[in-house]
Each structure stands twice: as C-alpha cells, then as structure tokens.
Amino acid sequence: MIKNNPFKIQEGQIRDSSVRTYVRQKKTGDYLDFGLADKTQSLGKFFDDKKIRSLFFVFALFMMILFSRSLYLQAVRGEYFRTVAEGNRIRSEIIKANRGLLYDRFGNLLVKNVSYFFLYLEKDILPEDDLVKQDLFTKLASILEMPQDKLIETISSQDQPADRILLYENLPYELAMKLIILSETYPSIDVSYEPRRQYFSNLGMSHSLGYLGVVAEEDIENRQYNYHDRLGKTGLELIYEDFLKGKDGIRQIEVDALFREKNILSMLDPIDGDDLTLTIDAKAQEKLFEIMKNQAANYDKRKMAAVVLDAQDGGVLAMVSLPDYDNNIFTTVLNNEDYQRVLSDEDLPLLNRVVSGTYPMGSVFKTIVSAAALEEKIITPSFTVNSTGGVQVGNNFFPDWRSSGHGLTNIYWALADSVNTFFYSIGGGNNQWLSLGLGVDKIMEYAKKFGLGDTTKIDLNAEATGFLPSKEWKEKTFGERWYLGDTYNLSIGQGFLSVTPIQAATVMSYFANQGLAYNPHFIKEIKSSSGTEIYQPKIFLDHVISDDSLETIRKGLRMTVTDGTAQSLQAVPISVAGKTGTAQFNRNKTPHSWMAAFAPYDDAKIVTAVIVEEGGDIGLAVTITREFMQWYFSQ
C-alpha cells in the first residue's frame, strides 16, 4: 500500500536516467574559471559600417515606396476602388416603367402595353475561361434554335458601349423558361419581362399615333434614357414623349463571387407615364377608315386623306391617311424586310397626307377669293357674271368645267356650281364684267389671313406649311413675269398654290363656326399622379371678315348641297354645307378630288375635309363624305 501511495515522498535511488546525475553535478556553475576565459577570443562584426548604411537606405527606400503606394491607393484612389469593390458586390437592375396609355374621348383604349420576355447578355460578367464561354454560347444557340456563328455575330455586331446586349425580343414562354434555368448556371444571361406598345390595326391610326424607335446616342446623353429604351419617333408618341415615357425604377441586389443574387438591398419603384385622353372618337375613326379602304379598293385609288374636326373647338374626331402602314413592326426588333417594303412603296405609306401632303386647293379656295372680293368691295352679293363656257385672253382660253357655261351667275351660284368664269373675273378682272380684279397680292393677303402659308399648329410632327406664290417668287424662280393667266389659275385654286388637308379643314371650320376657328388638336386631357390637366382650345381664326360677307359665303356653301355640285349630300339626315373641288396638278394625270363640308348647317358639330389623289370628277371625295356623315348622324 505504502509503496504504491502516490502522495508519499520516496527515498532511495532515482530510477529516472534523465536526472540521475543531477546530484553529482549540482555544483556546476558555482564558480568562474578565469584561466579558461583568458584563452577565449572576442566576437567580431559580421558587416562593416558601409554595408550597414547601404542596407539601411535600401530598406528605407522600400518602406517609402510601400508607404507612398499605400497612400495613393487609399487616399487618392480609395473611392474608385471602393466603388469597384461595391460594383462587384452590388449590381443594379433597371425596372422598366409602363408607358402612358392613350384613350379616346369616351374612354376607349387606343393603344395598349403588352409585356414580352427579353433576353440580355451581360458582357462584363461573361465567363473568362474560353471553354466555359464556348459552352455557354453552344447552349444558347441550341435553345434559341439558331446557328452558333449567327449568335456570336449578333453579339459582336452590337456597337453600343453598354455592357448589356439585347439578344432576343418577344421570347416564347417555353424558351424563356429554359433560359431562366440556364441563367442559374450562367449569371451573364438575363431574362426580363418588359412592356412594349401594341397598336390596333382596325383603327387606321398609324400616322396620327406614330410609333416608337430605339434611342440614339444623343437621346441617352441629353434626356436620360437608357440603352434599349424606346421613345416616340413620329406622331403623338413623339409630340407627347415627355408625358408618356414615365420614369424607370431601379433595384440594387447583393451578389456573391459567382454573381448569383443573394439579397435585395434597395428598391425604387418605377413611375408609369401619364395617360392621355384624346379628342378622337374611336368609332368614328374606325368607320372613316373602313369607308375609305372600301372606296380605295372599289375605284383603285390607293392615295387619299380625310380629317373630321369638332367644329366647336377644333378637336380631331378622326384622321385617316391612305395607304397606311402597320406601326406594330416597330414595337419589337425591327423587321428589315417589312421596313424596306414600306420604304420602297412608291405610294409613300409613311407619309401622313393630312398634315404633310400638299396639293392645289382647287375650288375649295374659292371661299377665300369670295371673302376677299366681298371685303374689298370688288363685288356685292348681287353682282353677276354670265358664264358662257370660259374666258378668252389673247391666245389662251380659260374654261368653265361646264363647256356650255353656267349662265347668269351671282356669288351664291358661283360657289354652289363652282363657276370658274365668275372667279376669273373677280380675281384677275375681265373687261366684259370688271375692269380690275383683286390681283395676286390681294388674294395672297387674304389667303394668309385665313392661315394658309403657315402651319395650323396641330399637335403632330412634320406639318407642312403649303405654299403661297407671289410675283417676286415667280420672277426669281422661273425668270419670267407674273401673267394674268397666273392670276386666273390662282383664283380657282390652281397653279402654284398648295395647301394641306388640315388647312382646308380649318378654313371650312371658320365658315362652319360663324367666324371662329380653333387650332386643330388631338389632346383633350393629361392624367398624371398629381391630377388632370385639361387642354384649353386656342383660337386660330377670329372674325377675319365681316358678318355680312361670312353669311353670304355660308349661303353659297349650303346651296352647293341643295342645288350645286354636292347634291348627293342631301341623303344625310341633317342639313350639310360645303365646297367641292377638282385640282389639276399635271396635264398628263387625272386631277385630285376635294370635298370640304360641315354639318348641321345652322349649328355645326363637325367639319370634314377629304382629298382623293387623282380622284377625278367622279365625286369620290363627296361619296366618302356622304357615307361618313350618314353613319355619324344616325348614331
């Protein structure tokens, strides 16, 4: 027991060999052997002083360089590298705002937004390994069912400096799901769901609504757009771009080293664009489009234009230009084949003939010549001319459209039956009836008073001003003086004069609305998150002539329907007034056909202007006007 007791101090021989000699050598180190010390040598220097100084300077220089570099990286470039580091950790994603919608005056939708899947490629996070990158391209080409060479060519052909490349628009749902799964492995693939415009083809509003196109470099710099954004290029989409476009949102996400999403750090919601209520009547627009298409097909007259205005405020109720085009071809990736087909069409379907097409005004211009003659006291309502078929001036004969003449003619019958001889006489003079007419300068003065030669300020782009000739212009352009025959042609709306259909409609609005005409316009209301802004119509023409002259011309326009050249309009269930016109523009081609009208006569609600290019004298413009008014006033 004692022997195995661990707490008892043992005596005797120490068995541990490592300490066995401890007792015997216990005095070692108790004294110094000076004899041995005399025999030792002192330790010398390993380096001399020169080497030590050199090493010190090298070390100091190294530390100075290290310190300077650290100071530069942290103090001078610190913000940059912090941003780069954050950029690797935090990525921003744009959330597209919905573009504002457009409604007609009754709340019917005129255009809508439809969301599609879009495939993007993030260039800055493409795999660095060539084999991995090649594997990505192989899988992408397989899913998209396109040759890999074409895919790589598409990627290489992107000339925008943005890191985000748009590879595919309007992805089918099945392909989008496959690509979303693939993006889990390859974060450089991004499939987003974004809105795009969709237009209704049954309305025939391609010219007035316009279309969207890709942004240009200056748009990005000046107006804060992003690459792959769409903005209005023509029509109302362009004019009201700042209201419709909205403001994109942004989402910041934290990613790991493989650029996979970990957390959402912040979210700024997008702000949708403002909605616009237009003056358009969608049913009237659709009906006018239908009538014109049918007449174009029946008579093989593809090129025509028509506009219907609210007589009381200038609001556009309907506007059609033929041939039209499908503005949906611009909503996604531009189809070059469809676009080239539209561009190469000799009938110019992209041209909005209502506001950009210019034509001789024909006999519709006789309303202005009548107004000038009455105001300048050249004639009175009782003044008459005997039309026998035309006027002879030297070797030139200026005919009436009735070869046998129109008989004894006052201003009412002159307007109603469009008697050229009457207007030759009051415009340029005639020794048989008037020694002196208005003359070119006075006619042009009144044309300007009625707004011709300038835009109507309609809210559409590319509005033409038309053209008003002068003696000086002819002498400068053709090197010859202005002849009496030029004045005769001008007096009946022929020759060098040109106007747009929207100008013709505005002139007729003046006579329809008892001496007031408003700027034609599409906008009625702008609805935003802050409230509704109501458009206030602006007066364009205000009592240009006296009430007596105005009433005289109005009676002549009414007589056009009751007894004159537009008697078929008596089929309309209310009283209509207006002026027909035939405008020659080329001796070798059929003249244009005009009709400008308003109804009801005593309290006008609508004004119409129709032109059929090369429509001739078959009354096609009158037919379109009649069919539309019959429908409109039966609703």
Are residues 303 and 199 part of one domain?
no
Are residues 585 and 486 part of one domain?
yes
Q: What is the pLDDT of residues 132-149, one digit of tens each?
A: 888 888 999 899 888 888
Q: How far apart are alpha carbons 608 and 307 in whole angstroms?
A: 6
What the block records as the tokens of 25 is 């050598």
Q: What is the pLDDT of residues 522-574, one digit of tens each?
A: 999 999 988 999 999 999 999 999 999 999 999 999 999 999 999 999 999 99
The domain that contains 566 carries what CATH number? 3.40.710.10
pTM of the predicted model, to two decimals? 0.82
Domain count within the chain = 2
Predicted pLDDT at 36: 53
User: Residue 50 belongs to what H/E stretch?
Assistant: helix 49-71
| Helical packing angle, 173-185 and 130-144, nearest 10° | 170
Taking residue 543's Cβ as centre, other Cβ atoms within 10 Å add up to 12
Are residues 230 and 308 part of one domain?
no
Q: What is the pLDDT of residues 377-428, one digit of tens each?
A: 999 999 999 999 999 888 899 999 999 999 999 999 999 999 999 999 999 9
Are residues 533 and 388 part of one domain?
yes
User: Residue 427 belongs to what H/E stretch?
Assistant: helix 420-428
**35 within some domain:** no
% pLDDT > 70, the chain = 87
Are residues 569 and 529 part of one domain?
yes
**500 within some domain:** yes
Model confidence at 3, pLDDT cuts 50, 70, 90, reads low
Predicted pLDDT at 57: 79
Predicted pLDDT at 252: 81
Mean pLDDT, range 12-16, rounded to an integer: 56
Predicted pLDDT at 125: 80
- Residue where a domain terminates, one of 214, 248, 278: 278
**516 within some domain:** yes
Q: How far apart are alpha carbons 134 and 150 in whole angstroms?
A: 14
Predicted pLDDT at 213: 87
**577 within some domain:** yes
Are residues 621 and 473 part of one domain?
yes
Contacts of 499 (CB under 8 A, 6+ apart): 358, 359, 360, 361, 365, 452, 466
Checking if the pLDDT of 306 tops 90, the result is: yes
Mean pLDDT, range 490-494, rounded to an integer: 96
Q: What is the pLDDT of residues 37-55, one digit of tens each?
A: 555 555 555 556 777 777 7
Are residues 310 and 245 part of one domain?
no
Q: How large is the greatest C-alpha to C-alpha distance in the chain, in angstroms?
A: 168
Predicted pLDDT at 326: 92
Q: How far apart are alpha carbons 320 and 357 in whole angstroms?
A: 12
**12 within some domain:** no
Contact 581, 418 (CB under 8 A): yes
> 63 versus 25: which is more confidently predicted?
63
**77 within some domain:** no
Mean pLDDT, range 22-26, rounded to an integer: 52
Residue 281 CB-half CA count within 13 A: 15
Are residues 424 and 320 part of one domain?
yes
Are residues 412 and 389 part of one domain?
yes
- Worst-scoring range by mean pLDDT, 68-82, 170-184, 500-514, 595-609? 68-82
What the block records as the tokens of 627 is 């069919």
- Residue where a domain terminates, one of 278, 311, 337: 278
**Phi, psi for residue 471 in degrees, rounded to 5:** -60, -45
Mean pLDDT, range 151-162, rounded to an integer: 70
Predicted pLDDT at 221: 75
Q: What is the pLDDT of residues 198-256, one digit of tens each?
A: 999 999 999 999 999 888 877 777 767 887 888 999 999 999 999 999 998 888 877 76
- Worst-scoring range by mean pLDDT, 13-22, 107-116, 494-503? 13-22
Predicted pLDDT at 184: 85
Are residues 554 and 417 part of one domain?
yes
Mean pLDDT, range 495-520, rounded to an integer: 97
> 615 versus 45: which is more confidently predicted?
615
Residue 272 CB-half CA count within 13 A: 13
Contact 382, 372 (CB under 8 A): no
Predicted pLDDT at 259: 62
Q: What is the pLDDT of residues 71-120, one digit of tens each?
A: 776 766 666 555 555 555 677 778 889 999 999 999 999 999 998 898 98
**343 within some domain:** no
Taking residue 542's Cβ as centre, other Cβ atoms within 10 Å add up to 10
- Worst-scoring range by mean pLDDT, 9-23, 149-163, 426-440? 9-23
> 73 versus 357: which is more confidently predicted?
357
Checking if the pLDDT of 4 tops 80, the result is: no
What is the domain range of residue 485?
A: 291-325+352-632
Are residues 500 and 373 part of one domain?
yes
Contacts of 336 (CB under 8 A, 6+ apart): none
> 436 versus 452: which is more confidently predicted?
452
% pLDDT > 90, the chain = 60
**568 within some domain:** yes
Are residues 625 and 587 part of one domain?
yes
Predicted pLDDT at 148: 85
Q: Which of 54-68, 191-205, 287-301 has the highest mean pLDDT?
A: 287-301
Paired strand residues for 409: 385
Predicted pLDDT at 77: 67
- Residue where a domain terminates, one of 212, 246, 278: 278
CA 215 to each of CA 93, 227, 460: distance values in angstroms, whole numbers, following the listed order: 19, 7, 20
